[in-house]
Amino acid sequence: MPFDQAANRRRFLQFLAASPLFASGSLSALAGEGPTAGIKLPDPIIWAPLRTEDLIKTPKDAINVFNFEPVARANVPPAHFGYMASGIDDEVTLRANREGFLKFQLRPRRLIDVSKIDMTTDILGVKYASPIIIAPVGGQKSFHEDGEIAVAKAAKTGDHLQILSTATTTGVEDVTAARGQPIWYQLYATNSWDVASTMVKRAEKAGCLAVAVTVDRSGGRNQETLFRLMPTDKRDCSGCHERGNLATNMKRRSMYEGIDLTGLTHTQSSNMTWDFMKRLRDLTKMKIVIKGVLAYEDAVLAADAGIDAIIVSNHGGRSEDSGRSTIDALPEIVEAVKGRMPILVDSGFRRGTDIVKALCMGATAVCIGRPYIWGLGAFGQGGVERVLELMRAELYGAMQQVGAPTIKHLVPAMVRRA
């Protein structure tokens, strides 16, 4: 076929017209209906614009973790998807968690042998294949029928530490068995010591290595994305959710089984203070981790109190709308803690470079939330496995790019504020 320059130009313009970048109306000028001055192509030109309507068909098709989210949106009931995706109010913190990474740049080193990368990481005395941890996410059967068991099996495949939520839809014993190694238990302590201590004892009996006490869900929250999507969900939700009665509402939450919830109005702990940690220390031999620290003052108090580790977290932008990302909060906390305990971090981690930035700043490991839930909602266990595989592959590549053959080689000099 002869080379048809005009046809090619037409096709190119059609391509541009389909690109969201050019949805400005000025294309008609480029198409010959007016002067072309003022049109500037982006540099570099985006040759493969994202088309969220092109759903991947198998986990292997994914080229990054974001590919799973639109598939999960198609599969998961709107209210459940809304619960997962939602931030608070204007979702400033939710966006900040991603945008925060742009404030920091990597500063690669060269002529270092990075032909083999060792990502193994010690987390509270246990060696894992990578510093990528599965963050606690409640109610995983609401995203896929295999729920927490699918996630545990995927965690086993990639040798990831798994933190199980208090709001799990499968008991800690079965999840531990599916993981094949001890896990951590995340605690929503409620306002009742009896409820909290019963759960902690059960987790300890199941072999959990640590209890991660979540301290950032102390009050109400306005999950607007959830509330906007809920009315679009036409199912009858009363079979699972009975809003007026906490005890009935918790019947699908395995960790509340057999616990008397009479008088309890909420599963959060708005009355919790540092005294709780002292009582907890007397109750359990498990390591104690505090999840949800954002200010260096609290990190220092935690270290002073002998807490074993903290998780710098804003709950993935789901507990407040302060507007502060965790990657912004991390440096002041690392500086104040002075190595007295490991510092984990989560919220917004999606790329290998995100993880490398946090590790260079001094974090020991990074927890991932929504991405593996996208994988779960999209394809079940296979989706979670692929999400974790992609995160590991990106981390591996990012470590090669900065010249760090091991985690220990990720040092503060490799990251700079932009």
Ligand X SMILES: Cc1cc2nc3c(=O)[nH]c(=O)nc-3n(C[C@H](O)[C@H](O)[C@H](O)COP(=O)(O)O)c2cc1C
- The answer to whether residue 266 is catalytic is no
| Chain contacts with ligand X (rule: CB under 6 A) | 83-84, 97, 135-138, 165-167, 186, 214, 291, 313, 315-316, 318, 346-349, 368-370, 373
Q: Rounded to an integer, what distance in angstroms lies between the CA atom of residue 319 and that of residue 338?
A: 27
Closest contact distance (angstroms) between CB of 181 and ligand X is 19
- Indicate the residue among 114 and 384 with the shorter CB distance to ligand X: 384
Q: Rounded to an integer, what distance in angstroms lies between the CA atom of residue 94 and that of residue 217?
A: 15
Contact 273, 292 (CB under 8 A): no
Q: Which of 320, 330, 273, 339 is nearest to 296 (CA)?
A: 330
DSSP helix/strand/coil, 391: helix
Q: In what order do the strands lie in the sheet with 287-293?
A: 132-134, 365-368, 343-346, 309-312, 287-293, 210-214, 184-187, 163-164
The label of the residue with tokens 């032909």 reads: 115
Q: Which two tokens stand for residue 282?
A: 């007397």
Q: Rounded to an integer, what distance in angstroms lies between the CA atom of residue 219 and that of residue 235?
A: 28
**Non-local CB neighbours of 314 within 8 Å, separated by 6+ positions:** 93, 97, 216, 292, 294, 320, 322, 324, 325, 326, 329, 347
Active-site residue among 80, 144, 315, 409?
A: 315
- Indicate the residue among 30 and 210 with the shorter CB distance to ligand X: 210
Q: Which residue is nearest to ligand X (CB)?
A: 369
- Indicate the residue among 325 and 403 with the shorter CB distance to ligand X: 325
- Indicate the residue among 143 and 296 with the shorter CB distance to ligand X: 143
- Indicate the residue among 186 and 190 with the shorter CB distance to ligand X: 186
- Indicate the residue among 362 and 377 with the shorter CB distance to ligand X: 377
Residue 145 burial class via C-beta count within 10 angstroms: exposed 0-12, middle 13-18, buried 19 and up? exposed
Closest contact distance (angstroms) between CB of 84 and ligand X is 4
The label of the residue with tokens 């999400």 reads: 387
Q: Rounded to an integer, what distance in angstroms lies between the CA atom of residue 235 and that of residue 77?
A: 9
Contact 179, 162 (CB under 8 A): yes
Supply the residues annotated as catalytic.
Answer: 315
